[in-house]
Amino acid sequence: MNAIENPIVHRQSSHCESGVVANMLNSQGFELSEPMVFGLSAALTFVYLPMVKVGGLPLIAYRMPPKSIISSVCKKLGVKVTSQKFKNEDEGMAALDKALSEGKLVGLQTSVYWLPYFPEDMRFQFNAHNLMVYGKNEQGDYLISDPVFENVVTCTAESLKQARFAKGMLAAKGLMYVMDKPEMQVELEEQIKKSIKKTAKMMSGLVLPFFGIKGINHLAKKIDKLEKVSEQEAGMFLSNIVRMQEEIGTGGAGFRFMYASFLDEASQLLNDSSLHEISQYTTEVGDLWREFAMQAVLYCKKRKNVSLKDVSNSLRVCAERETILRSKLLSWSKG
């Protein structure tokens, strides 16, 4: 049997990357919640990239790109991350086995489609799903802490190889990473302040109109223009937005709720009631994103008299409230 001697910390999480980072650090004695991991990484954002297609439809994301949470939070905490990619599949699996034989916890980027422990209706081509491998059993199956699930799971070597080396957009190329426990504890208070300030600055967007609040308004304009296309095409476009927001790793409203939890936890660490108030406001912003998704679904299913203008106006409300949230965060970080 090839597994680490000490029991791991496995906690079901809201999202895979932040969940894996939290579980890997907690398993090494670095107590950190998933919301704190997400908040420290300053990953909260919005991106609408019409030039990048996923299944023929534009990419819409509500957080920074894959691997950014891992790299950002580990840098802030002084945690060394060693990562590898592989051209050869067998070499990639051999490297994983070697790391496990040394008692290491190993993070992997995989494709959900090839993971057999996922129910069939949850398996689709998404190549940026993170999980943690902590050993192998006597049958040669890998022991996995996948934060999507309540309990640990197992996976055959062949299936895990397929998941690690799946082709297509965001192909992982066998990516594996190991985190070393830092030699000294980092003062979270200072890192919290820096992360909140960075998040606030990122929310306004970059020069191009595809990021942050600018990107939200840009997408609202695109929804208005759907009046010129068929109902079927408009429905596909809106369904894609909802799927990106509610079902896969881009996690729209969910990331707003998680960031609210981060702010609430930070308010307790810093003994700052004003941060708690901002946390409550962030939860309200998340609720508005859910309302927008509901408006889009109602339009697609024609269950109520919901127009495209209703949908785009709902999205503009999200932009307005995120503008206020950005102002609150920026004002707090300067205080």
Beta bridge pairs of residue 53: 58
* Judgement on whether residues 86 and 210 belong to the same structural domain of the protein: no
Residue percentage of the chain with pLDDT more than 70: 95
Backbone angles phi, psi at 300, to 5 degrees: -65, -40
Is residue 310 domain-resident? Answer: yes
The rounded distance, in Å, linking the Cα atoms of 184 and 77 is 9
Is residue 44 domain-resident? Answer: no
The rounded distance, in Å, linking the Cα atoms of 314 and 316 is 5
* Judgement on whether residues 213 and 158 belong to the same structural domain of the protein: no
pLDDT tens digits, one per residue of 116-153: 999 987 777 778 899 999 999 999 999 999 998 999 99
Query: What is the model's pLDDT at position 251?
Result: 61
* Judgement on whether residues 266 and 235 belong to the same structural domain of the protein: yes
pLDDT level of residue 1 (50, 70, 90 thresholds)? very low
Query: What is the model's pLDDT at position 209?
Result: 87
Is residue 312 domain-resident? Answer: yes
- The amino acid present at 71, given as its one-letter code, is S
pLDDT level of residue 218 (50, 70, 90 thresholds)? very high
Is the model's pLDDT at 247 over the cut of 70?
Answer: no
Number of domains in the chain: 2
Domain that holds residue 85: 2-32+80-180
Beta bridge pairs of residue 48: 60
Domain boundary among 180, 211, 242: 180
pLDDT tens digits, one per residue of 149-185: 999 999 999 999 999 999 987 889 999 999 987 666 7
* Judgement on whether residues 173 and 212 belong to the same structural domain of the protein: no
Is the model's pLDDT at 38 over the cut of 60?
Answer: yes
* Judgement on whether residues 159 and 212 belong to the same structural domain of the protein: no
* Judgement on whether residues 161 and 234 belong to the same structural domain of the protein: no
Query: What is the model's pLDDT at position 325?
Result: 97
Residue percentage of the chain with pLDDT more than 90: 73
Query: What is the model's pLDDT at position 283?
Result: 96
* Judgement on whether residues 15 and 157 belong to the same structural domain of the protein: yes
Is residue 58 domain-resident? Answer: no
pLDDT tens digits, one per residue of 45-94: 999 988 887 778 888 888 888 889 999 999 999 899 999 999 999 999 99
Domain boundary among 180, 206, 228: 180
* Judgement on whether residues 194 and 153 belong to the same structural domain of the protein: no
Domain boundary among 180, 203, 218: 180
Is residue 42 domain-resident? Answer: no
pLDDT level of residue 5 (50, 70, 90 thresholds)? very low
Query: What is the model's pLDDT at position 61?
Result: 87
Is residue 46 domain-resident? Answer: no
Is residue 45 domain-resident? Answer: no
Q: Residue 257 has which token pair?
A: 């709720």
Overall average pLDDT of the 1-7 stretch: 51
Is residue 145 domain-resident? Answer: yes
| pTM of the predicted model over 0.85 | yes
* Judgement on whether residues 239 and 140 belong to the same structural domain of the protein: no
* Judgement on whether residues 149 and 288 belong to the same structural domain of the protein: no
pLDDT tens digits, one per residue of 288-331: 999 999 999 999 998 778 999 999 999 999 999 999 999 999 99
Which of 35, 4, 22, 10 is CA-nearest to residue 267?
A: 35
Query: What is the model's pLDDT at position 53?
Result: 79
Q: Output the average pLDDT for the chain.
A: 91
* Judgement on whether residues 217 and 287 belong to the same structural domain of the protein: yes
* Judgement on whether residues 205 and 298 belong to the same structural domain of the protein: yes
